[in-house]
Amino acid sequence: MIYCANCGKQLEDDANFCPKCGTRTEKGVKEGVNIPWGDTQIKQELDKALSEASKALDEGVKVARVTLQDVGKRINEEVQNARDRSRERTQTIHCTTCGQENMTSAKFCSKCGAELK
């Protein structure tokens, strides 16, 4: 005797399907016995479920695309901001009082303390 891998019901050795739950047995799988699709209600329910799953996947892909586009825009903005800040730090201005070279982000001269304009 063998047992159903799904529900555990004891089966005849030559069974291709479990009479309790309909699961194909190991023998049925090995012999390539196809699952019957004669029950139109099962086929209709399966078609409906597949259609709903397809719609849900399409919607998920749309949401993911929009989200990734938004993230990409934010990343580009942050990269540009970082480049701008980097340029500000590397550019210099000269103090009109003493001539000392200072970073453009400085408000006061690092040598004489005069306010930079």
Domain boundaries, the chain: 1-36
Q: Which residue has the tokens 């799904």?
A: 6
pLDDT in tens, 67-105: 999 999 999 999 999 988 877 667 889 999 999 999 888
Rounded percentage of the chain residues whose pLDDT exceeds 70: 94
> Which residue from 87, 80, 111, 78 is spatially nearest to 97, judged by alpha carbons?
111
What is the helix, strand, coil percentage profile of the chain, to 5? Answer: 50, 10, 40
How far apart (Å, rounded) are the C-alpha atoms in residues 12 and 27? 11
pLDDT in tens, 42-54: 777 888 999 999 9
